[in-house]
Structures are given as structure tokens and as C-alpha cells.
């Protein structure tokens, strides 16, 4: 779930949600201010009218009724009123007149005037400017405008903000619904498109890694569109073309080198063999025999050199088949055991049973022969070679450990390099370089070190057959 498409969608949606939220907040602010402005205008107008009426009306018994009528009338035209409720409410408007000493002169409104009076006296309402007023026992505040009339009293006209808030709440609810819908839709679109785009990228990278493992002839899939992803595929393919051509170049060089050297070697060997069969005396045969042996060694050296050279360039050609390493080691030990015991060496195998890898059998055979030859040539007598074969996750782990003197300190850091060999060694110094090359060509790792008892330890890990299928 932590794919790039998922992350991009989450971040993209977050940015988008914040943006739309800001727009909505701005709109809300604007609408709220507008509603406020309209009710304030109404309040100021009405309170002027009330003041005017209050001034002209004589202060007799009828005064309260006249001003009350006017207030009643005004309350019918309250702005922002929700339709259909005009008859029920008359707690939405009140008129209050306070005389100079602070005594209640007139009260038009629902319920008792006391809490209103107290609220007004506590607050500091300035004439000509509508202000919010909270009245005890009523949850919704009032908007109150006041005016001072000539007799020193104040008239307060209050309008409940209930309708205004209802409009705003309604608006908010709708905003939130639309916002959620937009965010979800945005997320879906972003997720879908990035996933589609990134699926293409994933296909490309999968194809590219497959190509790295198997043959270089395949190419990553390209799309018809010439977007960034299409260009990536194109660039990769161009790169693969170049790699393939330089690989091909390398193969051509090593092949023709091998061919050009092997043809004369074949002719020389043939001629030597013919003169050997003609030679009757031992002393005549001896130089011919040693020439043939030298020639065979030269040929093997040529093979290994070219293999190592190709493997260093990751260009070793493999023809894979299933190999049971356990079985192969048993056969190899069977082959090498007499030579080892002849030299006073012991070889032991600890194996957990059949273990199949998908590898080039000729190379693996030669590699193991190389390891065994190496032990045979370098170990002093009375030593023991111990082999461990086991699986670890998706790899076959083969370790080969002896209780000999180990790698000399001057070579131990680079035993897998070409031409590196101990002072006492008579080999051509390619043995372990070849082992490393073969292991690497199969996607494995070879390590060499001196074990805790001072002997040499070589560990090879090779991918199991099942790990390669994927």
C-alpha cells in the first residue's frame, strides 16, 4: 500500500483539500459578512424610525401601544427570515426603552424584560453601531442597535441572530458535503492516473531487471505516447542497444581470440600425438609427452582467462539447467577423495539433502573442481576440508573450510582477483578468480576469509532454482 502512487495521491489530495477548504472559508466569510451587513442596515433603519415615533408620540397611556405596534410591524419584515415561520416567532425581535436613570420604560418582546435589561446594562452598546448581545437563558445572541432620543432615554432594538445562523449553518453543511465529494473525487482521479502511469514505470523496471538477468535481446515495453515515461523506456532501450552491441563486440573478440588460438593448438596437439605414436623409445617420447601436457595446461588457462574476462564484464554466457548441488558434491567428492587421502587430507560434507539450483552445469562443475584442486594443491597433509551445504532464504549456501594455514595475509584481501596467488603457489592464479566469476555470473556472492581456527574459508551463495522463477 506504500506505493509511490499511493503517496502521490495522498499528498496531492491533501494539497487539493487545503486549497478548496481555503476557498470555502473565504466564501463563507464573505456570505456571513453580507448577511450581517443587511441585518445591521435593517436594524439601524428601524431603530431610527422607532426613535422618531417615540419622540413624537406623547408619553401617555397610548405610547406603549403605538411604539409596540410599530415594533410589531417592523418584526414582520425581518431580513433573512426563513420562509413559513413568519407567524410563529415573535421572540426574534424585541424593543426596549430605558429611561435616563436606568429604569425600564417600554418593553415589547417575548417573555420577561428583566434578563434583556440586565444584559444591556452590562454591555456597552454605543448608539448608531449594532452590536452582539448575549442574553442569559437564550442560547442565540441578539444583534442590537440603539439610539438616544431627546428625552435622554435610549431605545434598543434587538434582532435574534437565529435566522442568520440557520442560513450560515445550512451553507456550511452544503459546503462540507460538496468539499468531501470533491476531495474524494480528486483522490480517486489522482490515484487512478498516477497508478496507471507508475504501472508503466514498474513494467519498464521489471522488464529491465529481467533483461539484466537473462538475455540482452529483449527490450522494455514502449508506449505510443511520447511522455516522460515513454521517453524513459526509449532511453533504456537505447542504452540496452549500446550494451548489447558492446557485449556482442566483447563476445566477438573473445570468440575469435579463442578460435584463433585453438585452431593452431589443435593442429600442434594432433601433430604431437602422431609423433608420439611414432616414437618408440622412452627418451624420444618424454619431451613430446611433456609438450602435450603443457599444451593442455595452456588451453585450460586460455579457457579460464577468457571466462574470467567475460565474467568481470558481466558478459558470461550461461546455458542453464537444473543441478542438484548435493548430488554434484557427492560425485565430486567421490572423484577427489582418493587424491586427497593419498595426500593425507580428509574431506567431509555436511549437507541437508537435495538442493537444486538453476545454473550452467559445465561452469559449476569446473568451479567446484577448481575449489577442490585449490585445496589439493595448497593444503599441507593431515588437514581436513569441511563442506557445508544448506539453504538460507532463497539461496544455496556452500561453504568450504579447511584447517590449514589459511590465506597469506598479503593476499587474503584479494584472493578473487586475477593473478593473485600466494608466494608458494605454482598455479596461474586464476582458480579463485574463476570461482568468483562463475558465482557472480549466476547472481551469487563469493567470499573468502580465514576462519576462526586460522584455516581458509570460502563461502558461495547461489540463488535457488525456485528463487529465479519469480
Partner 1 sequence: MRLLLVEDERDIQTFLRRSLEEAGYQVDVASDGKTAERLAHDATYDVLIVDLGLPDMDGISLILRLRRIGIDAPVLILSARRSVDDRVRGLEQGGDDYLTKPFALAELLARLRNLVKRNGPAGSEATKLRVLDLELDLLRREAIRSGELLQLTPQEFVLLEYLCRNAGRVVTRSMILDKVWGMRIQPDTNVVDVHIYRLRGKVDGKGQQPMIRTLRGVGYVLKDR
Binding site for partner 1 (CB under 8 A): 254-255, 258-259, 262-274, 276, 285-286, 288-293, 295-297, 299-300, 303, 306-307, 317, 319, 331, 334-336, 338-339, 342, 361-362, 365-366, 369, 372-373, 376-377, 427
**Minimum CB distance to partner 1 smaller for 44 or for 299:** 299
CB of 11 to partner 1, least distance (A): 50
CB of 385 to partner 1, least distance (A): 14
- Nearest-angstrom CA–CA distance, 90 and 126: 25
CB of 330 to partner 1, least distance (A): 11
Rounded to a whole number of angstroms, the CA Rg of the chain reads 49
CB of 196 to partner 1, least distance (A): 38
**Minimum CB distance to partner 1 smaller for 174 or for 297:** 297
**Minimum CB distance to partner 1 smaller for 150 or for 283:** 283
- Nearest-angstrom CA–CA distance, 31 and 168: 8
- Nearest-angstrom CA–CA distance, 80 and 71: 17
Asked if 366 contacts 431 with a C-beta cutoff of 8 angstroms, the reply is no
Asked if 168 contacts 35 with a C-beta cutoff of 8 angstroms, the reply is yes
CB of 417 to partner 1, least distance (A): 19
**Minimum CB distance to partner 1 smaller for 132 or for 273:** 273
Give the three cell numbers for residue 456.
581458509
311 contacts: CB under 8 Å, gap ≥ 6: 436, 437, 438, 440, 441
Nearest partner of 66 among 100, 45, 95, judged by Cα: 95
Which residue matches cell numbers 587474503?
A: 412
**Minimum CB distance to partner 1 smaller for 232 or for 292:** 292
- Nearest-angstrom CA–CA distance, 89 and 111: 12
**Minimum CB distance to partner 1 smaller for 69 or for 300:** 300
What 3-state class would DSSP assign to 159? strand
Give the three cell numbers for residue 140.
442565540
Nearest partner of 31 among 160, 179, 175, 133, judged by Cα: 175
CB of 194 to partner 1, least distance (A): 42
Give the three cell numbers for residue 157.
432594538
- Nearest-angstrom CA–CA distance, 95 and 47: 9
In angstroms, what CA-CA distances link 20 with 142, 177, 224? Answer: 32, 12, 35
**Minimum CB distance to partner 1 smaller for 298 or for 408:** 298
CB of 287 to partner 1, least distance (A): 10
CB of 436 to partner 1, least distance (A): 18
CB of 359 to partner 1, least distance (A): 13
**Minimum CB distance to partner 1 smaller for 34 or for 260:** 260
67 contacts: CB under 8 Å, gap ≥ 6: 50, 53, 54, 57, 95, 97, 106, 108
**Minimum CB distance to partner 1 smaller for 351 or for 361:** 361
Amino acid at each position: 500500500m506504500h506505493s509511490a502512487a499511493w503517496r502521490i495521491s495522498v499528498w496531492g489530495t491533501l494539497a487539493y483539500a487545503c486549497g478548496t477548504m481555503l476557498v470555502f472559508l473565504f466564501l463563507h466569510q464573505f456570505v456571513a459578512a453580507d448577511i450581517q451587513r443587511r441585518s445591521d442596515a435593517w436594524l439601524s433603519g428601524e431603530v431610527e424610525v422607532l426613535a422618531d415615533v417615540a419622540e413624537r408620540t406623547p408619553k401617555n397611556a397610548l405610547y406603549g401601544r403605538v411604539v409596540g405596534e410599530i415594533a410589531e410591524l417592523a418584526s414582520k419584515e425581518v431580513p433573512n427570515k426563513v420562509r413559513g415561520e413568519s407567524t410563529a416567532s415573535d421572540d426574534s425581535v424585541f424593543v426596549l426603552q430605558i429611561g435616563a436613570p436606568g429604569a425600564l420604560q417600554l418593553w415589547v418582546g417575548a417573555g420577561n424584560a428583566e434578563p434583556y435589561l440586565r444584559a444591556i446594562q452590562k454591555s456597552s452598546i454605543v448608539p448608531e453601531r449594532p452590536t452582539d448581545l448575549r442574553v442569559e437563558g437564550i442560547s442565540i445572541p441578539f444583534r442590537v442597535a440603539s439610539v438616544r432620543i431627546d428625552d435622554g432615554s435610549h431605545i434598543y432594538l434587538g434582532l435574534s441572530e437565529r435566522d442568520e445562523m440557520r442560513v450560515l449553518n445550512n451553507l456550511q453543511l452544503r459546503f462540507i458535503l460538496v468539499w468531501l465529494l470533491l476531495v474524494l473525487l480528486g483522490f480517486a482521479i489522482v490515484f487512478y492516473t498516477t497508478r496507471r502511469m507508475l504501472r508503466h514505470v514498474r513494467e519498464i523496471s521489471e522488464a529491465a531487471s529481467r533483461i539484466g538477468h537473462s538475455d540482452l535481446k529483449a527490450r522494455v515495453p514502449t508506449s505510443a505516447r511520447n511522455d516522460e515515461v515513454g521517453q524513459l523506456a526509449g532511453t533504456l532501450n537505447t542504452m540496452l542497444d549500446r550494451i548489447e552491441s558492446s557485449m556482442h563486440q566483447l563476445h566477438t573478440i573473445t570468440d575469435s581470440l579463442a578460435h584463433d588460438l585453438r585452431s593452431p593448438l589443435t593442429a600442434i596437439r594432433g601433430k604431437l600425438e602422431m609423433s608420439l605414436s611414432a616414437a618408440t623409445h622412452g627418451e624420444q617420447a618424454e619431451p613430446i609427452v611433456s609438450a602435450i601436457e603443457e599444451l593442455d595446461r595452456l588451453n585450460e588457462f586460455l579457457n579460464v582467462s577468457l571466462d574470467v574476462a567475460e565474467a568481470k564484464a558481466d558478459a558470461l554466457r550461461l546455458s542453464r539447467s537444473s543441478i542438484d548441488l548435493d548430488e554434484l558434491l557427492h560425485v565430486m567428492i567421490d572423484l577427489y577423495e582418493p587424491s586427497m587421502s593419498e595426500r593425507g587430507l580428509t574431506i567431509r560434507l555436511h549437507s541437508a539433502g537435495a538442493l537444486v539450483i538453476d545454473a550452467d552445469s559445465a561452469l559449476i562443475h569446473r568451479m567446484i573442481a577448481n575449489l577442490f584442486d585449490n585445496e589439493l594443491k595448497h593444503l599441507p597433509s593431515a588437514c581436513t576440508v569441511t563442506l557445508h551445504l544448506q539453504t538460507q532464504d532463497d539461496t544455496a549456501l556452500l561453504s568450504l573450510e579447511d584447517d590449514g594455514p589459511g590465506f597469506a595475509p598479503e593476499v587474503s584481501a584479494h584472493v578473487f582477483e586475477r593473478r593473485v596467488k600466494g608466494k608458494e603457489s605454482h598455479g596461474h592464479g586464476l582458480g579463485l578468480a574463476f570461482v568468483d566469476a562463475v558465482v557472480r555470473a549466476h547472481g551469487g556472492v563469493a567470499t573468502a576469509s580465514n576462519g576462526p581456527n586460522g584455516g581458509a574459508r570460502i563461502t558461495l551463495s547461489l540463488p535457488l532454482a525456485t528463487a529465479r522463477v519469480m
